[in-house]
Amino acid sequence: MAVPSSGSLSLLGIQREIFNNNYSATNSHSDISLTDLSEGADEEINTANAASDRPDGNTPHSMSEFYNYDHDLVAEIHSTTFQPQKRTWVVPYQPVRHGSGFTTSLNVSNNAPTNMGSVTTQGTFSLGGKTGVNLAALYNFNDDGDSTNGEKIVLQFHHASGTNFTNTGWSTAKIYNGSSASGTLVVTLTRSSASSFTSVIQNSSNVDLPEFFEGSDERIKDNIKDTEVNALEVINSLQFREFNKKNQSKKTKIGLVAQEVLKSKIPELVGTGSNESYKEYFDEDENEMYTIGIGNMTYYLMKAVQELSAKVEELEAKLK
């Protein structure tokens, strides 16, 4: 319960609000000082309160600074209204996923299809050192075949530059059934309780590239056995090409063409993603393009090295 907006105020009540988030609490405190409360000497002041005369640690200190003070108030930086949609999708090398929520055309992850659900209001805001930030996706999903209960939640931000986008500027995201003013609070996401926060960095000039890790703990895997995949045969089924990417440098690159990989012995490398950077080369109603999960190739290359090593050892043994 916040501090009243008018009338006489109790110094003890203000301290109870700061320490217990309840101005009307009945517990007692001692050694109360208006200066200590105003400067946050005993407990850090919540400066998210919107009132212009909120306590900010600066003198002069007065009781009126605490009118309407709400110690657990979270400042709202953005509000989006959406209609969630339940969808099923496939990610290469993983079980079928079931999820519900919304994604926009700004969604850059292969973990969910774009344009899932409908967003009736969406604007930009400031976050992570950038202005003009969009909310690109908010959905829950599971990857164990359960089509009823979502186990993971994804909250994705998007900025046009894609570079130096830090994970700061927000502490809590709340999802309501209805409006935030009159609806029922369904889920609260806080930075401190989430397991990790990652950013997508595109077109970066940084020399030191980030490392990527995937969950590989034995305890999350079933049906573990030696693979019978002939990695050399798989790799040899791929057609490597030289090309120049449109809208980019004329430097010739070597790589794969997604449509050709779909016809190879490893079509699961192919996924879909936003074509936002190449819109002019697609029909007006198309929002996705084919992508290739290069990271998945690593295990095939490692397996191919083992196969080649075994062949070399076999030839060396025959020569002895």
Q: What is the pLDDT of residues 103-129, one digit of tens each?
A: 888 877 656 788 888 887 667 887 777
What confidence score (pLDDT) does residue 71 get?
Answer: 80
Going by pLDDT thresholds of 50, 70 and 90, the confidence category of residue 198 is very low
User: Residue 207: is its pLDDT beyond 70?
Assistant: no
**What is the rounded average pLDDT of the residues 186-205?**
52
Mean residue pLDDT of the chain comes to 78
Residue 132 lies in a domain: yes
Q: Which of 164-178, 196-210, 252-266, 303-317 has the lowest mean pLDDT?
A: 196-210
Which of 20-29, 90-99, 176-185 ranks highest by mean pLDDT?
Answer: 20-29
Asked if residue 232 is part of any domain, the answer here is yes
Average confidence (pLDDT) over 45-58: 69
**3-state SS track over the chain:** CCCCCCCCCCHHHHHHHHHHCCCCCCCCCCCCCHHHHHHCCCCCCCCCCCCCCCCCCCCCCCHHHHCCCCCCCCCCCCCCEEECEEEEECCCCCCCEEEEEEECCCCCCCCCCCCECEEEECCCEEECCEEEEEEEEEEEEECCCCCCCCCEEEEEEECCCCCCCCCCCCCEEEEEECCCCCCEEEEEEECCCCCCCCCCCCCCCCCCCCCCCCCCCHHHCCCCCCCCCCHHHHHHCCCCEEECCCCCCCCCEEECCHHHHCCCCCHHHEEEEECHHHHHHCCCCCCEEEEECHHHHHHHHHHHHHHHHHHHHHHHHHHC
Does 203 score more than 60 pLDDT?
Answer: no
Across 1-5, 18-22, 294-298, 313-317, the highest mean pLDDT is recorded for 313-317
Q: Is 75 part of a structural domain of the chain?
A: no
Q: What residue numbers bound the domain in which 43 lies?
A: 11-66
**89 and 154 fall within a common domain:** yes
The pLDDT, as a whole number, for residue 26 is 81
**26 and 86 within one domain:** no
Q: Are residues 40 and 109 in the same domain?
A: no
Q: Which residue has the higher pLDDT, 319 or 77?
A: 319
Q: What is the pLDDT of residue 232?
A: 93
Statement: residue 282 has pLDDT above 60? yes
Is residue 300 scored above 80 in pLDDT? yes
Q: Let me know if residue 72 belongs to a domain.
A: no
Q: Look at residue 1 and tell me if it is in a domain.
A: no
Residues 173 and 260 in one domain: no
For residue 205, being part of any structural domain is answered with no
Q: Which pLDDT does position 204 carry in this prediction?
A: 33
Instruction: Give the global pTM.
Output: 0.45
pLDDT tens, residue by residue, 125-170: 877 777 888 888 888 887 666 666 667 788 888 877 765 666 666 7
Residues 86 and 59 occupy one common structural domain: no
